[in-house]
Chain A
C-alpha cells in the first residue's frame, strides 16, 4: 500500500513537471503554430536566474518569482526582433529557434561551466502521512502546477485579454479589422509562453539541479506531448503532457527503464500517425 502510494506520488509529481514545461510550449505551438526549439533554453534560463539569486545570497523564492518575468521579457524582445520573421514558414521557425536555443544554451554553459550546480529547495523536508514520506517541494510543484493550469485556463477563456489572444490567433486579419493590434498580441503570447517556461525552470531546478542541457532533456518530450495532445487548443497539449508524463514515469515501474524510455516515444509517434489531430481535437480554449 505504502509503496503504491509512493509510486503514485512519483508519477504524479513527474507528470506535473512535464505539464508545467509543456504549458508554455503548448501555448506557443497551439496559438502561434511555432514549434519553439528554444523553449528548453527558456526553461534553462529560468533555472539559471533562480541559481543566480541563490548564489548572490538572495532568498530562493525571490529568484523563482523573478524568473518568469525576466524570461517573459526576453521572449517579448526575441519575438519582436527575430521570431516575427518566421510566422509564414514553420520549418524555418524550427531552425531559427534552434539557433536561438543554441546561443542561449552555450552562453549559459560558458557561464556555469560543465558543472551540475545544486539549488536547495525553498520548502525543504518532507510531509509525513503515517509511515509515508513525500517530498514537500515536489508536492508544492504539483500544487503550483494545478494553480498555474487553472490560471492559464481562466486567463484564456474568461478574460478580455484571452479573448483577444484567441481571436488574433484564430483569424488575424479579422482581428486586425476589429481593432486588435495583432503584432502586440503575438508578442504577448510568445512572452507569456516564455514566462511559463521560465517559471517551470525556476521550480524544477531544486529537483534536477542546474546544468546546461537541462532544457534539452525535456524539449523532445514536450514536443511529443504537444503532438499527442493536439495542436490548436490550450487543453490539448496539457492533456498530452499529462499522458506522456504519466507514461514516462509509470512504465519504468513495470519494465526495464531503457525499454520504457523508448516505448513511450514509439507509442506516441504511432498514436500521432493514426490520430494526427491528437487526443483533443477541435477548437475551444
Chain B
C-alpha cells in the first residue's frame, strides 16, 4: 500500500469516530435486534449518508484518500461474498484485484484505451476469467477439495502471480507500470477528486445492492446452507461445488472491477497489488468489520484504512503491531467482527424469500 500524503487532519478520524459513535449508541439494542427491530438498514443508511457527505466536509487530499478507501471497500465486498457467504477461504483475492489492475494498465499503456465503458468491463472480465480458471481448478473435480487446500491454493496462486509480476519485464518488473493515463468518459478525464469519488461510490452502491439481492435470493440461501454444512446441501441435491465456483467467479469479477478502478485512481500498478500483502489485507478488513454481512466488509475497510491513515504519521512503526493485536482479539473474542456489537445474530443471518419472519433461521456456530 502506498502511504497516503503527509499531514494528519482531524476530519477522517472524526468521520470514523462518528461511525464508532453509532456503534456505541446502538450497542444496547443488540439484544433487542432479535425481537424484530431492524438495525441493518439503519447502519447501511448511516454509512451511505456519511459517504455521500464526506467530500463536502473533507479537504481535497482527504477526498482522494476516501476514494481509495471506497475502492478498497468494494474489494472487501468481493472477499466477503466468497468467505462470509460461501465459506471459501480465498487467501488470494488480490490475484483478481491485481491482475485486473495490470490488465487495464496494459490497455491504457499499449492500446490507449481508457474509456470507462471499455476498461471497467475489461477489468471485471479479467477478474472473472482468472477467478473462473483458478476457482474451477481448485473447487471442481471428482472429489470435493478440502478447505485447507483451497485456502493454500489461492494463497499460492497469489504468491506465484506476485513473483511472476516482479520478474516479467513486460509488466514492469519490481516497479510495476507507472503513470497510467486517466480514465475517460467522452472528453472528460476522471482525475483524483470529488468526481472520481462519487463515481466509485455510485459503483459501490450499485454493486452492494446487487450483492444484497444475490445473498438474499434462493441462491444466497443455498450458499448459506453450503457454508454451514456442505455435505447436507450436497445430499439435498445441490451441486455444492458448482455453487462455490459460481460465487467464487462473482467475487473475482467484483475484485476485478475494484482493481481496475484502483489502478486508474492511483495511476500505477505494482507487484504487491497481486501479492500476498494485499490478499491478507482484504481478509483483515472483512474480519474486523464482520464477515457474513455486506456492510461489515465496507465498515471494516473504512475503519482499518482510516485508523491506519490517522496513526501512520505518529505511530507508523507500531501500527502493524496494534493491528495484529486487534485482529487477534477480534478472532478470539468477536469472531463475527465489529458489526456484531450492533447487529444481532438473527438479523445477521437474515431471512430469505418473501415472508420475513417465518423462514428458517439458521443458528450459526462460532466460526466466522
Q: Which residues of A contact B (CB under 8 A)?
A: 35, 82, 85, 89-92, 94-96, 98-103, 106-107, 109-110, 216, 220, 223-224, 227, 257-258, 261-262, 265-266, 268-269, 272-273, 276
A110 CB contact (under 8 Å) in B141, B318, B325, B366: B318
Residues in A whose Cβ lies below 8 Å from that of B164: 258, 261-262
Q: Are A276 and B89 in contact (CB under 8 A)?
A: no
Of B47-55, B103-111, B151-159, B239-247, the segment with at least 4 beta carbons within 8 Å of chain A is B151-159
Q: Are B152 and A276 in contact (CB under 8 A)?
A: no
Residues in A whose Cβ lies below 8 Å from that of B159: 220, 265
Q: Are B152 and A96 in contact (CB under 8 A)?
A: no
Tell whether B7 is near chain A: CB-to-CB under 8 Å. Answer: no
The 4 A-B residue pairs with the shortest CB-CB distance, nearest first, are A258-B167, A102-B324, A103-B324, A106-B320
Residues in A whose Cβ lies below 8 Å from that of B332: 82, 85, 96
Tell whether B219 is near chain A: CB-to-CB under 8 Å. Answer: no
Q: Are A265 and B148 in contact (CB under 8 A)?
A: no
B321 CB contact (under 8 Å) in A110, A220, A257: A110
Q: How distant is B304 from chain A, measured CB to nearest CB, in Å?
A: 13
B323 CB contact (under 8 Å) in A85, A102, A224, A262: A102
Across chains A and B, the number of contacting residue pairs, with CB separation under 8 Å, is 108
Tell whether B72 is near chain A: CB-to-CB under 8 Å. Answer: no
Residues in A whose Cβ lies below 8 Å from that of B323: 102
Other 4 A-B pairs with CB < 8 A, given A258-B167, A272-B153 = A94-B89, A99-B324, A100-B324, A262-B160
Contact with A along B265-280 (1 / 0, CB 8 A): 0000000000010001
Residues in A whose Cβ lies below 8 Å from that of B324: 99-103, 106
Residues in B whose Cβ lies below 8 Å from that of A272: 149, 153
Q: Are B320 and A102 in contact (CB under 8 A)?
A: yes
Q: Are B141 and A273 in contact (CB under 8 A)?
A: yes
| Complex CA–CA separation, A216 to B332 (angstroms) | 24
Residue pairs across A and B with Cβ atoms less than 8 A apart, 11 shown, are: A82-B332, A92-B368, A99-B327, A101-B324, A103-B325, A109-B317, A265-B157, A272-B149, A273-B137, A273-B138, A273-B149
Assuming A102-B320, A227-B152, is B163 touching A262 (CB within 8 A)? yes
Q: Are B147 and A82 in contact (CB under 8 A)?
A: no
> Which range holds the interface residue count of chain B?
35 or more
Residues in B whose Cβ lies below 8 Å from that of A227: 148-149, 152
Q: Are A35 and B367 in contact (CB under 8 A)?
A: no
Assuming A82-B328, A99-B327, A273-B137, is B152 touching A92 (CB within 8 A)? no
| Complex CA–CA separation, A266 to B153 (angstroms) | 10
B328 CB contact (under 8 Å) in A94, A100, A220: A100
Q: Are B156 and A220 in contact (CB under 8 A)?
A: yes
Residues in B whose Cβ lies below 8 Å from that of A35: 148, 152
Q: Are B156 and A110 in contact (CB under 8 A)?
A: no
Residues in B whose Cβ lies below 8 Å from that of A106: 317-318, 320-321, 324
Residues in A whose Cβ lies below 8 Å from that of B155: 220, 223
Which residue of chain A has the shortest Cβ distance to B366 in the bound complex? A89
Q: Which of B192-230 contact A (CB under 8 A)?
A: none
Which of B156, B276, B368 has the most chain A CB atoms inside 10 A of its CB?
A: B156
Q: Are A95 and B331 in contact (CB under 8 A)?
A: yes
Assuming A102-B327, A110-B317, A220-B276, is B157 touching A269 (CB within 8 A)? yes
Residues in A whose Cβ lies below 8 Å from that of B335: 92
Q: How distant is B348 from chain A, measured CB to nearest CB, in Å?
A: 18
Residues in A whose Cβ lies below 8 Å from that of B299: none
Q: Are B367 and A90 in contact (CB under 8 A)?
A: no
Residues in A whose Cβ lies below 8 Å from that of B160: 261-262, 265-266
| Complex CA–CA separation, A218 to B163 (angstroms) | 13
Q: Which of B240-293 contact A (CB under 8 A)?
A: 276, 280, 283, 287
Tell whether B168 is near chain A: CB-to-CB under 8 Å. Answer: yes
| Complex CA–CA separation, A99 to B159 (angstroms) | 19
Residues in B whose Cβ lies below 8 Å from that of A262: 160, 163-164
A99 CB contact (under 8 Å) in B143, B151, B153, B328: B328
Residues in B whose Cβ lies below 8 Å from that of A100: 324, 328
Q: Are B156 and A95 in contact (CB under 8 A)?
A: no
Residues in A whose Cβ lies below 8 Å from that of B320: 102, 106, 109
Tell whether B146 is near chain A: CB-to-CB under 8 Å. Answer: yes
Q: How distant is A106 from chain B, measured CB to nearest CB, in Å?
A: 4
Which residue of chain B has the shortest Cβ distance to A274 in the bound complex? B141
Assuming A90-B148, A220-B276, is B325 touching A261 (CB within 8 A)? no
Q: Are B331 and A96 in contact (CB under 8 A)?
A: yes
Residues in B whose Cβ lies below 8 Å from that of A103: 321, 324-325, 328
Which residue of chain A has the shortest Cβ distance to B147 in the bound complex? A91
